[in-house]
Amino acid sequence: MFPKNSDQITRNYMDSLLIETRYIDSVLPDSHLSLWGHTFDTPITTAALSHLNGTAPDGMKIYAEGAVQAGALHFVGMGPEEELRAILSTGAKTVKIVKPMADQDAILRELKMAEEAGCVAVGMDIDHSFSSNGTYDNIFGIAMKSQSYEDLDRYINSVSIPFVIKGVLSPVDAVKCRRLGAAGIVVSHHHGMVDYAIPPLMALPEIKKVSGEMAVFVDCGFSSGMDVYKALALGATAVSVGRHLMPLLKDGAEAVSDRIKEMDAELRGVMARTGIKDLASMDPTVIHPTWPGSTVL
Q: Are strands 163-168 and 121-125 parallel, antiparallel or unpaired?
A: parallel
Q: Is 190 a catalytic residue?
A: yes
pLDDT in tens, 122-141: 999 999 899 989 999 999 99
* pLDDT in the model for residue 293: 59
* pLDDT in the model for residue 263: 98
Provide the residue type at 254 as one letter: E
Contacts of 79 (CB under 8 A, 6+ apart): 50, 51, 60
* pLDDT in the model for residue 54: 86
Enumerate residue ranges in the chain where pLDDT < 50: 296-297
Q: How far apart are CA 212 and CA 27, in angstroms?
A: 29
Torsion 276-282-284-285 (CA) sign: negative
* pLDDT in the model for residue 111: 98
CB atoms within 10 A of CB 59: 18
- Residue 137's Cβ-count burial label (10 Å; 0-12, 13-18, 19+) is buried
Which phi and psi angles does 242 have, rounded to 5°?
-130, -70
* pLDDT in the model for residue 296: 46
Helix axes 59-70 and 253-273, enclosed angle (nearest 10): 40
Count Cα neighbours of 136 within 13 Å in the Cβ-side half-sphere.
14
DSSP string, 160-219: SS-EEEEEE-SHHHHHHHHHHT-SEEEE--TTTSSTTPPPHHHHHHHHHHH-TT-EEEE-
CA dihedral of residues 201, 205, 211, 216 (deg, nearest 10): 30
Q: Exactly one of 190, 191, 244, 288 is catalytic; which is it?
A: 190
Q: Which helix (H) or strand (E) element contains residue 153? A: helix 149-156
Ordered domains of the chain (ranges, CATH): 6-288 (3.20.20.70)
Contacts of 119 (CB under 8 A, 6+ apart): 84, 88, 94, 95, 96, 161
* pLDDT in the model for residue 294: 58
Q: How far apart are CA 80 and CA 62, in angstroms?
A: 16
* pLDDT in the model for residue 297: 39
Q: How far apart are CA 232 and CA 201, in angstroms?
A: 10
